[in-house]
Chain A
Amino acid sequence: MSLGSSTGGLMIALAVVFEPTGSRAEPAEENYRLYCAQCHGTRGNGQGINQTADGLAVSPRDHTVAKEMSKLSDGDLRLAIAEGGDAVQKSELMPAWGKTLSAEEIDDLVLYLRKLCKCAGRR
């Protein structure tokens, strides 16, 4: 084997090992903790620090209540996350995250919400 081809092989191996992690979608649980938990709580029960510090005039949704969450379709959840509370006739305190998160990250968050409520959405 020539030196050239072994160097090339090494470079490919390095490129695979050092692929930048910032470009991939973050796991949904991390995104939930980073963006949602400040209001919806680290457990998803609507008791985040902004709520418990009396910062919010309207209580954030409790994502663990299957009875309420099952009334919403996955499309409703996607719309609420991407375009904010105003788009689904809820509070403007829920921001639109569509310019911050990718469509794929929002889809993953919808799946994560279904895990939190242990429920399926309305069809």
Chain B
Amino acid sequence: MRVFPPLIIAISQFAFSAQPVLAQALDGKAIVTERCASCHDTTGPAPRTYQDVLDRKAPDLFYAGSKFNRAWLVDWLQNPTIIRRAGVMFLNHTAEEGGKDRIVEETVKPCPSDLSRAQAEAAADHLMALKDPAMKTGVVEPAKKLRKHKAYRLFTKQLPCIGCHRIKFGKRMKGGISGPDLTKAGERLNPDWVYARIENPQYWDPKTWMPRIEMSHRKREMLTLFVSSMK
């Protein structure tokens, strides 16, 4: 068959012109801007007033690269689950019934992200570049042996962490709900960030309802290893 030469030229031009379009579709920054930034703050700073905290729609992402593990981000962006059972800000989902506060569960919605694997990889690359350069890294040695029962006592009895965070210990699940669920925190969070968050929660989020509690490096390290062990 004889192909008409101008058609070959037209096809080859189309192939060349299609390439930049494809590259643009996998531009992580564009995906995050288009799909995430209407709810998540990707530039900062974090809310500084009570009203701003109530108005925040989704967790801040402007230090996502310091906070998250990339592999978890890629999976989660394709299939999000609810991490905060009480919502991003518990007061926005709290109703009182018979003198008892409860979370109106139907008002707590998962992130609507439904990215493809390729889109999630690109978005995760961009999010992982959003780092806080001041965060100390390598503070916690992830391979260090964790004394699990001691760490559990620290988390649940000697410090108030369990009051707001749900954890898994053996087969048991327990804990409060006003803070993020930590039952799979080891998959989700960078241990260096966990350590830095415990050290000074208000550095990351000035109006967070997580208290800043003084403790030794050894205790903070033990808590970090404990949180990071939950997978």
Contact = CB atoms under 8 A, between A and B. Distances in A.
Interface range for A: 35 or more
Interface of A: 20-22, 26, 30-31, 33-35, 37-39, 41-43, 45, 47-57, 84-85, 92-97, 99-100
Given A55-B164, A99-B214, A47 B101 contact: yes
B101 A49 contact: yes
B100 A47 contact: yes
Given A41-B100, A95-B211, 19 more contacts: A20-B48, A26-B50, A34-B50, A34-B91, A39-B164, A39-B178, A42-B91, A43-B99, A49-B90, A51-B101, A55-B164, A55-B176, A56-B163, A57-B162, A92-B157, A95-B160, A95-B163, A95-B213, A100-B211
Interface stretch (B5-13, B183-191, B201-209): B201-209
Contact of B176 (A22, A30, A39): A39
Nearest to A22: B48
B178 A50 contact: yes
A49 B102 contact: yes
A47 B164 CA distance: 14
Contacts of A85: 160
Contacts of B164: 38-39, 50, 55
B78 interface: no
8 contacts: A34-B207, A35-B211, A38-B176, A39-B164, A49-B102, A53-B103, A92-B159, A94-B160
Interface string B88-132: 001100101001111100000000000000000000000000000
Interface residues of B, number: 38
B33 to A, nearest CB: 27
B100 A52 contact: yes
B177 to A, nearest CB: 5
B101 A37 contact: yes
B160 A92 contact: yes
A60 B106 CA distance: 26
B41 to A, nearest CB: 16
A104 B69 CA distance: 39
Contacts of A30: 50
Contacts of A50: 163-164, 176-178
